[in-house]
Amino acid sequence: MSQAAAAPLPPSHREPRTERGRRTHRAILDAAAHEFGTRGYHDTGITHITARAGVALGSFYTWFESKEAVFRALVADLSAQVRDHVGPHVAAAPDGLAAEEAGLAHFLAFARQQKLIYRIIDEAEFVAPDAFRAHYETTAARILTRLQAAAAKGEIRADVSEAHAWAIMGMNVFLGLRYGIWDDSAATTAVAQTANSMLRDGLKP
C-alpha cells in the first residue's frame, strides 16, 4: 500500500465517551500496570496486556496506538491516582502544615497498595522521559500551590518557593520507597509526623 493510500493512525491515546468504553479503557490500564510492573517495559507485549485485561487486540488499538502509548497513558493515570487518593485528605486538613503531614501519610498508604508504581515511574525515565518529567512537575506544582495558599494565610513562612515544593516532594518520594515499598510495617502516621516535625521548623512563619 502506498503512503498516500494508507489509513491515518489513530491518536496515541483516546478518551472513552461511553460507560462500556470506560470499562474497557480501565481494564487495559489496570492490566498494563500489572504487566509493566512485574515484567518491565521491554519484556511486556501488547498481547500480555490484552490477555490479562480480557479484551481483543482490536479493542486495544481502539484506545492506544502502541505499547509506548499505553505506557505513557499509564504514567499519567498513576499520577492522577495519587492526586485523587491524597487530595481529599489534604483538603480536609486544618492548616498548611497539617495538609503536608496528611498528604505524606496517605501517599505512603497508596504506595503500599500500589507497590508497582515505583518500578513503572522509574522506568518511565528511560522509556518516556517527557511523561516521567511531567509526573514530577505536576506533583511539585500541586505542592507549591498548597504552600502558597498556606503562606497567604500566615500558616507558614511567606517566602515559600518552587525549591521548597521540590524538597518536600523529594522527601515524600524516598519515604514512600523506604516505608511504602521496601518495608510497610511502620505506622504511616508516625513516619508522617516525624517528617512533618522537620517541616514545622523549616516552614514556620
Q: How far apart are CA 140 and CA 169, in angstroms?
A: 6
Residue 108: how many other CB atoms lie within 10 Å = 25
Answering whether pTM is above 0.95, one says no
CB 13 within 8 A of CB 77: no
Specify the higher pLDDT residue, 5 or 185.
185
Q: Which three cell numbers stand for residue 160?
A: 515559600
Task: Note the residue count of the chain.
Answer: 205
> Nearest to residue 119, comparing CAs of 23, 13, 43?
43
Q: CA-CA distances (angstroms) from residue 162 to 132, 159, 179?
A: 18, 10, 25
Res. 178 pLDDT band, cuts 50 70 90: very high
Q: How far apart are CA 120 and CA 65, in angstroms?
A: 19
Asked if the 71-203 domain carries CATH number 3.40.50, the reply is no
Res. 13 pLDDT band, cuts 50 70 90: low
Residues 63-83 have a mean pLDDT of 96
CB 65 within 8 A of CB 46: no
Res. 156 pLDDT band, cuts 50 70 90: very high
Res. 7 pLDDT band, cuts 50 70 90: very low
Q: How far apart are CA 75 and CA 85, in angstroms?
A: 15
Contacts of 76 (CB under 8 A, 6+ apart): 131, 134, 135
Q: Which three cell numbers stand for residue 46?
A: 501488547
Q: For residue 64, what are the β-bridge partners? A: 13
Q: How far apart are CA 31 and CA 105, in angstroms?
A: 27
> Nearest to residue 62, comparing CAs of 1, 19, 9, 4?
9
Res. 14 pLDDT band, cuts 50 70 90: confident
Residue 115: helix, strand or coil by DSSP? coil
Q: Cα(first)–Cα(last) distance of the chain, in Å?
A: 68
Residues 86-105 have a mean pLDDT of 97
Share of the chain above pLDDT 70, in %: 94
Res. 205 pLDDT band, cuts 50 70 90: confident
Residue 11 pLDDT > 60: no
